[in-house]
Amino acid sequence: MSEGVSTTERVSRKGFLLVGALLTLAALALGSVRFARADWTGIPLDRWPDGMQLRVGPARCHEDIPPYTTETGRVIHGLVVDEEQYLSIVELRRGVPRDELAAKCLYSPFTDRPAVTWIAHFIPGDEGVALSAVNLVMMVAAVWALLAAIRAAGVGPFALAVAGTLAVVNFNTLMSGSGLLIEPPALLFAALAWWFLQRRREWLLVPLIFFAVAFKEPLVVLLIPIWLWARAERSRGRAASATWLPALASTVALAAGAFAAMRWSTPADATWPANINLSLLLGNLTDPVGIVAFALATVPLGLPAFLRIRDMRREQHAEPDVRHPLLATLLDPAVAGVAVAVVLCVYAAATADLSPRIAWVGFPFAATLAAQWVDRRVGSPGPAGRGGRAGIADRIDRSLSQ
């Protein structure tokens, strides 16, 4: 089984702040590359040409996506429909008449994510800068929440630094950390939820889940690790009032939050199709550019997480009272958090594209598993180190431990 709740955080406040500050600078540096789609580096990171045409729903919903001109006169090339939708929703919230928007129609589910566009519409000037500013603030907050969640697992400073680096200095941060797509909230809310669970602050999940769905509806999958956490904690002897009841309250909060987000959202003209298409799935899984991008974002963190899951399964085999080691491993909350992210990615590939940003909802769980694997391989059980080894991992652990 996973380590469960750690009673001692081995990373000192000094070590946590140092790692957090360095990774915040890294996130800001990577995020600056595509901030507001200014693309100041000139690196050709976008695959979509200007003038992409789409037809969805009613006959009038025929989208011809030309270069987008913001309020300040800045021109953004190579937009995808998601970006045009969010920019148009910000403009609509600012009072621009609907028939003057760049998007001919507004589509669900883009309209069903009202929180970020609502915050962005208060920031004056370029709507692209406003959207990206909100995303970047949430990305920085996500860095700290992610590190807090890893730290709560009881790993050493070296493991925290390695797992945090793999999760933050990442292709996802480069492409989506401060762009025009609403993606950082998924990482932020998933990290906060996982941190609250590990710190046994389950009741904080209720307001968190209520607001989360207004930022990104795929966050509903967080209910799976929440319920599995309740199950695991109940089996350890905690009262139902501290396990099942917060999980039930979080589920109710999700339903209430979804209803509130629906009432808050901008009315949609049509629904973006989300039917599973096996031909589309096959095409996405055989697209070399998409596969490379997905691998760049997920493999560095996913590999050590997978190795930790493999070790957990072996540990389950060694337990005489465990009848189904694989099932017992999959029921671990951290493993389930990774598994639901994988399912979301496959679903996205079958309905739209193989997008690594979808995997962000599983990053806090994967980072914790990766940190545990690193800690067991090169970390130490305490500040003094293992066997007096004087490697870099031991020196970091000794200097930044509690």
Check whether 6 has a pLDDT greater than 60: no
* pLDDT for res 389: 42
Tens of pLDDT, residues 283-318: 999 999 999 999 999 999 999 999 999 999 999 988
- For residue 399, what pLDDT band results from cuts at 50, 70 and 90? confident
Residue 303: predicted pLDDT:
98
pLDDT of 1 > 70? The answer is no
Tell me which residue of 357, 314, 309, 356 sits closest to 336, measured CA to CA. 309
Handedness of CA 358, 64, 123, 209 (dihedral sign): negative
Query: Residue 6 class from Cβ within 10 Å (0-12 exposed, 13-18 middle, 19+ buried)?
Result: middle
Question: What's the pLDDT score for residue 378?
Answer: 81
Q: What is the pLDDT of residues 96-124, one digit of tens each?
A: 999 999 998 999 999 999 999 999 999 99
In the numeric block, which tokens belong to residue 390?
């004087």
CA 234 from centre of chain? 27
Residue 394 pLDDT class (50, 70, 90 cuts)? confident
**Which pLDDT does position 45 carry in this prediction?**
74
- Using alpha carbons, select from 81, 120, 87 the residue that is nearest to residue 270: 81
Calpha distance 297→355 (Å, rounded): 9
Pseudo-torsion of CA 338, 341, 347, 353, nearest 10°? -120
Percent of the chain whose pLDDT exceeds 90: 76
On the question of pLDDT at 54 being above 80, the answer is no
pTM: predicted TM-score of the whole model, two decimal places: 0.93
Domains of the chain, by residue range, sit at: 13-38+135-400
- Nearest alpha carbon to residue 20 among 136, 148, 107: 148
d(CA 255, CA 374): 38
